Structure 1
Amino acid sequence: MKLGMARGEVCLRLSVILFLVLTTCLVAFDTQTKVVFLGIKKKATYNDLDALKMLVYVTSAAAGYNLLQLCKHSTCSRGNLKGSDMCVAWISLFLDQIAAYITFGTNTASVGASMIAVKGSEAFQWIKVCDKFTRFCIQIGGAFLCGYVASILMLLISTISAYRVFRMYSPKWFLRLKTT
């Protein structure tokens, strides 16, 4: 792989790790307590919504995966991939795509579930939570933004992984390895 592309991938992975950790921290450490009625306090946390709990787990796992991939890049040689290294390249491509799509899907599901907190639901007699806990909702919205940025960056990493795999194949013959 070209040295410039390798450096670009390392920078992208570092950025992804940063955004994923930021997403996890913004969601996991976000709490707000309000007095509801005559000294009765209600505390809003990410544990109140299962989708936010899943978001914390998935973004943590994706950050760990990208950290492992970063460690793999620092120990691997930059030469041509042959034999079993080609299997590693394919596995990396599939894992990169899985991480990107699962992170995007979990973030989107969390946004959908959180919209009930923003708008409420008259059919279920659920009140608008964000009217009472505005700081909590704003911070969760910032976490969603960071999660989407991380998802887009992971899609770019997946594109680099695909390039790394498919450059080994001949353009003339379908899925035949290059001879050089």
Structure 2
Amino acid sequence: MLAQLDARFRRPLNRFFHSRTRDSAESEDLTQEVFLRLTRRAGDGPLENVDAFVFTVAANLLRDRGRRQSVRGVSVDHAETLERGRSVDSALVEEIHPQRVLDAKDDLKRALQALNELPTRTQDAFVLRRVEGMSIKEVALTLGVSVSAVEKHLARAVAHLAARLAD
């Protein structure tokens, strides 16, 4: 069973991680970690939605990586700044107005609400294609449906989101 999951998910997971880390070795390590967690989870019985589990684990691993790097990055950047005896030029840092942040959060909330109104399969197809950057063929293989079905799900999702966000 693990061989089937490997054949199905290794390439999409590597692409998912590499597009975010830009590091092939780290992408492979993170992919291996997903499979390790799948192996550990196998003893708990069958999964209802393997696709959701795999990409939830992947997203969580990436989030944890980001947290670790931000903690390390802050201390390293601070040490480098002190060592060089200079600070970052404030003209190089974009000022983000609080209203812009609130508007963006509101827009994101509306988009997520609209996405959650769609059937699960349509949501999965949209997220894998538009967020994860998979090809339509890869989405079809991941979801176990035809390319035509993926195209229909994507069209339905885009039309729904456009209509809901135009309000």
Q: With structure 1 as the length reference, what TM-score do the two structures score?
A: 0.30
Structure with the higher strand share, 1 or 2: 1
Higher helix share: 2
Q: Which has the larger radius of gyration?
A: 1
